[in-house]
């Protein structure tokens, strides 16, 4: 099925001018981190959920946006509230990341911020997972993200500034029963963020990882299994969008949403045997 052509909405333009710095009171700008100012941003997975919330938050803070997602109709709805140029695209298609990067640069001239929100889930016993579902989870959550970063990053390095924000998951930090492949894909994103951050030291380009727990989005409906646990309680996608904005503005390496979820990740790191016993008991 052919995908919809790129389109424009709102006031996003191809100007190379930078928006003046508008940092909140008390926030100190780290050296060489121009992506933390309101500037130009590319957001993937912006059709709904976390990506759409991120687009709305960045737009409200004065960023000029290029939005990408697989659902052209929902993407247009997001752009209508976020003043953005849109590029409907399935990033698993061959060379999609190149087309998206070129479109974004043509629209806004440079990219100060990349927020990679695109993702899919799957729940169930690993032995019952189909090859198609396996490939989709790894392709969308991991490979398309790395390919897009690989396209965008040279432009940021050449400019000497920028920030890449990757949206991970608590499942990638601790592992979740019934979500083995999803957990693996998000764990790989987290390690990629760490490794890339070390590699980019001194270039002026930063890397942030935002680690949400359960988020109240259509994610669970689309994966085919509803969220049935009482804890942790789902948080609205706007809380994750706030975390993305803080990561960009303050140059944070890692942000958990909600913040207390850092605790189980730390327990697993410091006392893995204890964590595994607790996880086996309480799930």
Catalytic residues: 182
CB 163 within 8 A of CB 33: yes
Rounded to whole angstroms, the maximal C-alpha distance in the chain is: 56
Phi, psi of 30 (to 5 degrees): -65, 155
**Do 234 and 216 contact (CB within 8 A), yes or no?**
yes
- Cα separations in angstroms, 70 against 2, 17, 43, 110: 11, 29, 12, 23
Which value, in Å, is the radius of gyration of the alpha carbons in the chain?
Answer: 18
Task: Detail the DSSP E strand segments found in 60-167.
Answer: 64-69, 84-88, 113-116, 162-167
Name the residue among 182, 168, 183 with its Cα closest to residue 122: 182
110-143: burial string, b at 16+ Cβ within 10 Å, e else:
bbbbbbbbbbbbbbbeeeeeeeebeebbbbbbbb
Q: Answer whether 53's CB lies under 8 Å from 61's CB.
A: no
């Amino acid at each position: 099925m052919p995908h919809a052509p790129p389109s424009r909405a709102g006031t996003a333009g191809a100007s190379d001018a930078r928006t003046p710095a508008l940092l909140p009171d008390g926030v100190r700008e780290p050296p060489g981190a121009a992506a933390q100012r309101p500037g130009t941003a590319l957001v993937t997975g912006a059709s709904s959920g976390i990506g759409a919330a991120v687009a709305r938050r960045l737009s409200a803070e004065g960023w000029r946006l290029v939005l990408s997602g697989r659902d052209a109709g929902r993407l247009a709805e997001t752009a209508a509230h976020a003043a953005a140029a849109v590029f409907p695209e399935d990033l698993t298609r061959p060379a999609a990341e190149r087309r998206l990067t070129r479109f974004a640069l043509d629209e806004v001239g440079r990219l100060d911020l990349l927020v990679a929100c695109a993702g899919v889930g799957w729940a169930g016993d690993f032995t019952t997972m189909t090859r198609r579902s396996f490939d989709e989870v790894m392709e969308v959550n991991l490979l398309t993200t790395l390919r897009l970063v690989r396209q965008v990053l040279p432009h940021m390095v050449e400019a000497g500034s920028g920030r890449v924000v990757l949206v991970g998951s608590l499942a990638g930090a601790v592992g979740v029963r019934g979500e083995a492949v999803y957990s693996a894909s998000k764990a790989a994103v987290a390690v990629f963020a760490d490794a890339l951050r070390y590699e980019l030291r001194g270039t002026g380009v930063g890397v942030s990882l935002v680690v949400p727990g359960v988020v109240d989005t259509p994610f669970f409906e689309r994966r085919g299994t509803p969220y049935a646990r009482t804890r942790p309680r789902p948080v609205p996608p706007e809380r994750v969008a706030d975390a993305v904005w803080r990561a960009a503005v303050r140059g944070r390496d890692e942000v958990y949403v909600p913040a207390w979820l850092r605790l189980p990740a730390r327990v697993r790191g410091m006392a893995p045997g204890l964590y595994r016993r607790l996880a086996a008991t309480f799930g």
